Amino acid sequence: MSPSIPLQEMIRAIRSARTQCEERGVIQRECAAIRAQFRQADNGARSHNLAKLLYVHMLGYPAHFGQMECVRMIASPRYSEKRVGYLGAMMLLDEKQDASLLITNSIKNDLSHSNQYVQSLALCTLACMGSAEMCRDLAPEIDRLLRASNSYIKKKAALCAVHIVRKVHELGELFAPAARSLLTEKNHGVLHGAVVLITELCERNPEALERFRKTVPDLVQIMKGLVISGYSPEHDVAGISDPFLQVRILRLLRILGRHNETASDAMNDLLAQVATNTDSTKTVGNAVLYETVLTVLDIKSESGLRVLAVNILGRFLLNNDRNIRYIAMMSLQKIVGTDHNAVQRHRGTIVDCLKDHDASVKRRALELSLALVSASNIRSMMKELLLFLSSCPPELRAQTASGIFNAAERYAPSQRWHIDTILHVLTTAGGDVRDETVPNLIQLITNTSELHCYTVHKLYRALLTDISQQPLVQVACWCIGEYGDLLLKGECQETEPAQVTEDDVLDSLETVLQSHMSAPATRGFALTATMKLSTRITDNVDRIRSIVSIYGSCIDVELQQRAVEYNALFKKYDHMRAAVLERMPVIEKNSLGQTNGDFAGEAIKAIQPAIVKQGEPPLLLQPANQVCDLLDLLGGSEEPLQPSSVQSGTASGLPINNSSTAGGDLLDLLGGFEPTPAAQAPAVTVYEKDGVNLTLLCEKHSDTGLTVTLTASNSNDSDISSFTLQAAVPKSVQLHMKAPSGDFLPARGAAKVTQMVVLNNPNKVNLKMRVRISYTSQGSACQDTVQIDSFPGL
């Protein structure tokens, strides 16, 4: 077997390979040679082979066959082999491999080796990949090394102890006394290790925290020594004495001083001294200052010191160095919850950082800006945030959009502003918003009824310019479908009205339907909107009919189903079309699924008495489920359709076909009914007592106008005479009672009395009516009042 080439030659060979394939070839040859060499007994070049293997491992090739060799090398008496063996163990082994257990014994022996470098190798390996069992076995050894050895070993043993504590928490108790005594050392490396160990112990165990609070005076002393002492060349970095140790001690002081008055008092002077004396022109100085500021803000410091700290942060923020600005924003983020006003003072600078070129700085500035938004600065902040959104890097867009929505929801000064803001976000970053934005926006729009005209104009214009942002297109389609009549009226108070013809509107909807950019959900929206327009417009109903019938054979199943149903609506149920496609009611704040149920429930309850009036058995609640499913079917999750039309069918009084399945066709369900010619809205019994029965029938004939027909009947055996009705309504509603048909109710429902009441509700208040019934029955006068709160069909 030819001796394999040493490490450098192999590296040279790998580097000279011109293609990936060549390189793989070289490496495979080398690995084979290494494997052969491993199998041989002891030969002089073992360490070189392992070094080569590690190089190959770094390049990403498998090297697991070297694990046993590592174990063998660690056990070798030669330092050079031990060194490479331990390095290999740290790179190739971890606690999950079985081979790692085999090195426990070697490590144990090496920890008591005479040569300190062998000891240090063992400590290093234990600290890197020591498993919990190994740590438990070797903890007493480490403790011994912590106490009685030279400073080189002590500092390594301290960090090894940190690793052990992280792996096995209970062993923290073991190291606590040793850690305490290490604080008296002079060597900075050992001090550093001791401080790290104490920090780890305090973070894990609150009892240890209590005990180590007593060390605060010692720590303060050490810090003072570092800060005030003269120039010491060995620890000096840019004029500051051992900044790394200072930073560590400050961090430990922070942990010890948190929530504790006495400890914080002991530190106040020191912190003030460090804050004022440290030179902030160099990076190391800034590192120490930054740590000091964080400590001051975290412990119970006095207010003067806090002000000083926030000022230092403000200075950092204005620094030219981007690193410092980044650090400053990070620390401001930490205190924005507690010292909100202090941070607000720097809002201007933070908002400027949004325009920085650096992506990290932008990210920090964005988080901080979103945290700083409040009711007083919402308008200006939103302007800045929207500007940022249009130019921000793509990975930050989703966060920005959701942050803007949250802020707008909480602090919107006016509805119109809110809607404008959301529309702006949708036009700029429509692809990155969350899914629930669309229903939220729709709900917001329906709630602000005075802005319907304005909203639909704006959305129409947005639709004309760009149909690629799906959420925007969905909302726009929905609005055009709902409020298309307002769009076509051509007058609007809040914005320039567009002279839109019906054809234009249908054109734009058709573009959305046919565009390849539209998602299936969007096309569903557009189709439904087109259908809704059939009741809002007058001329082009045929065009709508043709559009809808085309999609009856669409490949997309969802669209096809909708189109077929709408077709049916045109053909067989044309009389119901107006009611089906009426204006939506205001959506409640609950999830829309619940709303579906609510509406259906109310309407059903109202219908049942109607059936009673005709002597039929009451409807079971089964239809409620079917109706809910019906609503699901027709409108998807976002569009609860008017239940009134379906109720008109059920009001016919025939028992519903209960066997209709949950997802059953609209056609099947409607087919179970006999369409009643008169019933456009349900007749509700509002009063039933002593045989007198009063029912109410609503008919809406305009946006604000409503005709209520009250029908009275008498199921007693005796006649009723002088039957009169009086009605009262809320103040803003206008009432006009027409002449009743009569005032005599014969027995056993032989004839009825009807009275029409015309109501006008311009302010669209919640409609209530109080009706007083007075009549004479069997010689005695009776009077009763009934309050009607719900008007089905409204």
Partner 1 sequence: MIKAILIFNNHGKPRLIRFYQYFTEDMQQQIIRETFHLVSKRDDNVCNFLEGGSLIGGSDYKLIYRHYATLYFVFCVDSSESELGILDLIQVFVETLDKCFENVCELDLIFHMDKVHYILQEVVMGGMVLETNMNEIVAQVELQNRMEKSEAIQNLSPPYLCHLLHIATSSRSLRSSSSIHLNVPPAGLSTILTPTRHPQL
Q: How far is the CB of 310 from partner 1 (least distance, A)?
A: 19
For partner 1, the binding residues in 159-178 under the rule CB under 8 A are 159-160, 162-163
- Please report, as residue ranges, which positions from 388 to 417 form the binding site for partner 1 (by CB under 8 A): 395
Q: Does 242 bind partner 1 (CB under 8 A)?
A: yes
User: Coil, strand, or helix at residue 688?
Assistant: strand
Q: Cβ(350)–Cβ(339) under 8 Å?
A: no
Binder of partner 1 out of 33, 87, 145, 569 (CB under 8 A): 87
198 binding partner 1? (CB under 8 A) = no
Of positions 8, 262, 614, 722, contacts partner 1 by CB under 8 A = 8
- 73 binds partner 1 per the rule CB under 8 A: no
Which residue number, 54 or 381, has a Cβ lying nearer to partner 1?
A: 54
Q: What is the DSSP pairing of strand 720-728 with strand 683-689?
A: unpaired
Nearer to partner 1, 150 or 262 (CB): 150
Widest distance between CA atoms in the chain? 131
156 forms part of the interface with partner 1 (CB under 8 A): yes
Nearest-approach distance from CB 81 to partner 1, in angstroms: 9
Among 23, 38, 55, 386, binds partner 1 (CB under 8 A): 55
Shortest spacing between CB 647 and partner 1, in angstroms: 52
d(CA 491, CA 267): 71
User: Of 242 and 384, which has the nearer Cβ to partner 1?
Assistant: 242
- 723 backbone dihedrals φ, ψ, rounded to 5°: -80, 115
* Under rule CB under 8 A, residue 432 binds partner 1: no
CA distance 736 to 603: 26
Residues 541-600 interacting with partner 1 (rule: CB under 8 A): none
- For the bound state, the minimum distance from the C-beta of residue 184 to partner 1, rounded and expressed in Å, comes to 19
Q: Is 348 in the site for partner 1 (CB under 8 A)?
A: no
618 binds partner 1 (CB under 8 A): no
Nearer to partner 1, 303 or 320 (CB): 320
Judged by CB under 8 A, the chain residues 294 through 313 that form the site for partner 1 are: none
Sequential DSSP letters for 35-103: HHHHHSS--TTHHHHHHHHHHHHHHT---GGGHHHHHHHHTSS-HHHHHHHHHHHHHH--TTSTHHHHH
Distance CA(316)–CA(298), nearest Å, equals 18
Q: DSSP string of 595-649?
A: HHHHHHHHHHHHHHHHHHHTTPPPPPSHHHHHHHHHHHHHHTTT----HHHHHHH
- Going along 311-357, which residue ranges are E strands? none
Site string for partner 1, 748-767 (x = CB under 8 A): --------------------
Among 36, 359, 728, 765, binds partner 1 (CB under 8 A): 359
Query: Applying CB under 8 A, does 354 fall inside the site for partner 1?
Result: no
Q: How far is the CB of 265 from partner 1 (least distance, A)?
A: 25
Per CB under 8 A, the list member of 99, 189, 515, 609 interacting with partner 1 is 189
- The nearer residue to partner 1, 162 or 684, going by C-beta atoms, is 162
Residue identified by tokens 């059920």 is 650
Binding part of the chain for partner 1, among 5-13, 596-604, 613-621, 661-669 by CB under 8 A, reads 5-13
Q: Is 677 in the site for partner 1 (CB under 8 A)?
A: no
Q: Does 352 bind partner 1 (CB under 8 A)?
A: no
For residue 378, give Cα distances in angstroms to 105, 373, 583, 601: 66, 6, 34, 41
Rule CB under 8 A: say whether 211 interacts with partner 1.
no
| Nearest to partner 1 of 94, 207 (CB atom) | 94
Residue 64 φ then ψ, to 5°: -70, -20
What track of x and - describes contact with partner 1 for positions 96 through 125 (by CB under 8 A)? x------------------x-x-----xx-
Task: Decide if 207 contacts 242 (C-beta within 8 A).
Answer: no
The least distance separating partner 1 from the CB of residue 8, rounded to whole angstroms, comes to 5
Query: Smallest gap, in angstroms, from Cβ of residue 588 to partner 1?
Result: 36
Instruction: Report the alpha-carbon distance of residue 327 to residue 288 in Å, rounded.
Output: 12
Angle at 599 between CA 598 and CA 605, to 5 degrees: 90
> Residue 88 Cβ, how far from partner 1 at the closest point, in Å?
10
Which amino acid is residue 451, in one-letter code? Answer: L
Sheet holding 705-714, edge to edge: 683-689, 692-700, 705-714, 753-760, 734-737
Q: Does residue 483 touch partner 1 according to CB under 8 A?
A: no
The region of 185-193, 600-608, 621-629, 718-726 touching partner 1 under the rule CB under 8 A is 185-193
The answer to whether 7 contacts partner 1 (rule: CB under 8 A) is: yes
User: Which residue, 367 or 482, has its beta carbon nearer to partner 1?
Assistant: 367
Are 38 and 45 spatial neighbours (Cβ–Cβ below 8 Å)?
no
**Binder to partner 1 among 32, 68, 228, 238 (CB under 8 A)?**
238
Residue list 643-662, contact with partner 1 (CB under 8 A): none
Residue 706 binds partner 1, judged by CB under 8 A: no
| Closest to partner 1 by CB, 196 or 512 | 196
Where helices occur in 345-396 by DSSP H, the ranges are: 347-353, 359-372, 378-391
Interface with partner 1, residue 192, by CB under 8 A: yes
Helix (H) or strand (E) segment spanning residue 454: helix 452-465
Q: Which helix (H) or strand (E) holds 204?
A: helix 188-204
What is the distance between the alpha carbons of residues 505 and 479, in angstroms, rounded to a whole number?
A: 12
Rank residues 9 and 261 by Cβ distance to partner 1 and give the closer one.
9
- Return the number of other C-beta atoms located less than 10 Å from residue 260's C-beta: 16
Closest CB to partner 1 among residues 245, 423: 245
What part of residues 362-391 is at the interface with partner 1 (CB under 8 A)?
363
Beta carbons of 680 and 699 less than 8 angstroms apart = yes
CB of 312 to partner 1, least distance (A): 14
Site for partner 1 in 244-263 (CB under 8 A): 244-245, 247, 251
Q: Applying CB under 8 A, does 287 fall inside the site for partner 1?
A: yes
Q: Is 436 exposed, middle or buried (0-12, 13-18, 19+ CB in 10 A)?
A: exposed
Give the separation between CA 212 and CA 215, rounded to whole angstroms. Answer: 5
Residue 428 binding partner 1, by CB under 8 A: no
Could you give the C-alpha distances from 158 to 143, 197, 560, in angstroms and in order? 9, 6, 72
Q: Helices 243-257 and 188-204: crossing angle, nearest 10°?
A: 30
Looking at the Cβ atoms of 45 and 174, the one nearer to partner 1 is 45
> Which one, 249 or 603, has the nearer CB to partner 1?
249
Least separation, in Å, of the C-beta of 87 and partner 1?
6
Binds partner 1 (CB under 8 A): choice among 171, 196, 267, 513:
196
Residue 28 as a binder of partner 1 (CB under 8 A): the answer is no
Q: Return the bridge partners of 774, or none.
A: 724, 783
